[in-house]
Amino acid sequence: MTATPAPTDATAPEKNDFIRQIIREDLASGKHAAVRTRFPPEPNGYLHIGHAKSICLNFGIGREFGGPVNLRFDDTNPAKEDPEYVEAIKEDVRWLGFEWAELRHASDYFEVFYRSAIKLIEDGKAYVCDLNAEQVREYRGTLTEPGRNSPFRERSVAENLDLFTRMRAGEFPDGARTLRAKIDMASGNINLRDPAIYRIKHVEHQNTGNAWPIYPMYDYAHCLSDALEGITHSLCTLEFEDHRPLYDWCVDHVDLVRNPHLYQPLVDAGFAVPAAKPRQIEFSRLNINYTVMSKRKLLALVDEGLVNGWDDPRLPTLQGLRRRGCPPAALRLLADRVGISKQNSLIDFSVLEGCIREVMDAAAPRRMAVIDPVKLVVTNLPEGHAESLVFANHPKDPAFGERAVPFSREVWIEREDFMEVPPKGFHRLVPGGEVRLRGVGIVRCDEVVKDGDTIVELRCTLDPESRAGMEGANRKVKGTIHWVAAATAVAAEVRLYDRLFSVPDPDKDEAGKTYRDYLNPDSVRAVRGWLEPSAATLAPEAPVQFERLGFFTADRRDHAPAAPVFNRTVTLRDTWAAKGGA
């Protein structure tokens, strides 16, 4: 069985967003002989769907323009970082279908960052400041008022070098001093008001151990990492637009291209250092309603037990989306559909669901399952009747082949496919009415058996002239329902997932409510279902469409043929549109 292949880079239409236009112009002008990009996550949490857009952009550009893409962990804050996150991030990138040219860490460059800071001090561009965090905020000014110079701003180069080397030696406690860039305390851009570039933290680092009691700030380390790796186009989201002047300031004043002695330790260690001056370009991040993507809030959901871990299928984390069954091709399709722009926008959750449906419709074989069963007995078939029927695995793709489906006198059907008092427009089974039993023939309901008010059995007659392939099968009957043979049905746990939040904007804090108050109580419901036997044998993470029920995926952790577990990835249609988006 083969799935319809996704478009390759050779067959996909050329993308022409503003970033790619810049890259084409840079290549055409000779500014760059080749393109080099990177994906630079901080290993302080799990990646979410917003990161998928950045991954697809950076690695997609690498594929399109034939340039290498580095995966670099910006691990400059060890107090919040964990090797668990590192491994999950690497797994996520590969799951999305990408591979990096080189794996790098900001911590690989700690000695270079330190040497570069010494250069800034020697050039009169950085100083050691003794103000504490509260005082720094007080001196910084506001968006409408300039800041004030630190009383330590005019320390001599010699004093700054002495203090900074003693910071490096671990002589001072956490928070006692910082190294600040000397830029402009009156700047209209608050990021240029002498930002800190080093702080004291006596914290063990996952890669460097206790070698460093000081750590570089993100804005300082990030841009120099890009320069060291020869990144030509440093792509980041719009919240870093105001940081770009600082990015350029650090790159320009350290000037690694003209000061190769600063990165000589890397060369001695065998690193390739294609030093260059990178260009930062910002684009809008991916925002989707009915979810939260703040790392702080996601961590709270996990730590407070409001979800079942980072891979809970209701979370927007890539681990959660994968476990739910979202195909990586659907996230790549979403990134293409959303596009790249400078305008922040909010994407409706239904756009993601539409991408999932589109990909799964082509890639998922069909099977029959019943999740709210009621027994239907075909009374004019003999006791013990058993036969095998042939069904196509995919109605649109013969390459998926066919399968044998057992049929017996007693079958399970969905309880909602029968109504004693049907509403107008109901075209399924009713007392005395007929319906087509999928692939079998036309049955008429003759008797309804109850236990109190509960229907326990429907006794029906099969029209023998309406069997599949016979002339009577062409007789017009409005409804067709699916079924599973009771004698051979396999019991399964079916987890019916829905949106985690019940409102489009759970981030809004009003009337004393927080995102916790908007959790959807119906976001997951586990039921016992019945499957045709071939569904149970699907491998973990295998996609499937349970006919008329939705697209499902065998759970990657809990599923086994002897104890099947399926997650509903997405419904067949947008059920939230009918609710008016709430």
Angle at which helices 218-228 and 110-122 cross, to 10°: 110
154 vs 131, 146, 236, 353, CA distance in Å?
14, 18, 34, 58
**Cβ–Cβ under 8 Å, residues 524 and 495:** yes
Closest CA to 114 of 214, 246, 10, 187: 214
Please pick, among 277, 295, 415, 444, the residue that the annotation labels catalytic.
Answer: 295
Per-residue tokens: 262: 């600063």
Binding residues for ATP: 42-44, 48-54, 237, 285-286, 293-295
What number of other Cβ atoms are within 10 A of residue 499's Cβ? 19
Binding residues: 42-44, 48-54, 74, 218, 237, 285-286, 293-295
Q: How far apart are CA 467 and CA 306, in angstroms?
A: 51
Q: Which residue has the tokens 């082949």?
A: 401
Active site residue 285: yes
Please pick, among 36, 42, 282, 495, the residue that the annotation labels catalytic.
Answer: 42
Per-residue tokens: 319: 């681990």
**Cβ–Cβ under 8 Å, residues 360 and 330:** yes
Closest CA to 69 of 78, 58, 80: 58
Q: Which helix (H) or strand (E) holds 495?
A: strand 490-497
Q: How far apart are CA 526 and CA 497, in angstroms?
A: 9
Q: How far apart are CA 235 and CA 182, in angstroms?
A: 26
Q: Helix/strand/coil (H, E, C) string of 147-195? A: CCCCCCCCCCHHHHHHHHHHHHCCCCCCCCCEEEECCCCCCCCHHHCCC
Angle at 325 between CA 296 and CA 68, to 5 degrees: 70
Please pick, among 90, 148, 285, 548, the residue that the annotation labels catalytic.
Answer: 285
537 vs 45, 541, 552, CA distance in Å?
35, 12, 14
Active site residue 119: no
Active site residue 80: no
Binding residues for L-glutamine: 74, 218
Angle at which helices 49-65 and 328-338 cross, to 10°: 80
Closest CA to 193 of 138, 123, 114: 138
Q: Is the dihedral of CA 495, 363, 438, 436 positive or negative?
A: positive
Q: How far apart are CA 14 and CA 23, in angstroms?
A: 14
User: Which residues, 6+ apart, have CB-to-CB distance to 22 below 8 Å?
Assistant: 233, 281
Closest CA to 373 of 321, 415, 312: 415
CA gyration radius for the chain? 31
**Strands annotated E in 419-469:** 434-437, 441-451, 454-462
Q: How far apart are CA 121 and CA 39, in angstroms?
A: 30
Q: Helix (H, G, I), strand (E, B), or coil: what is residue 207?
A: coil
DSSP 8-state code for residue 497: E
The set of catalytic residues is 42, 285, 295
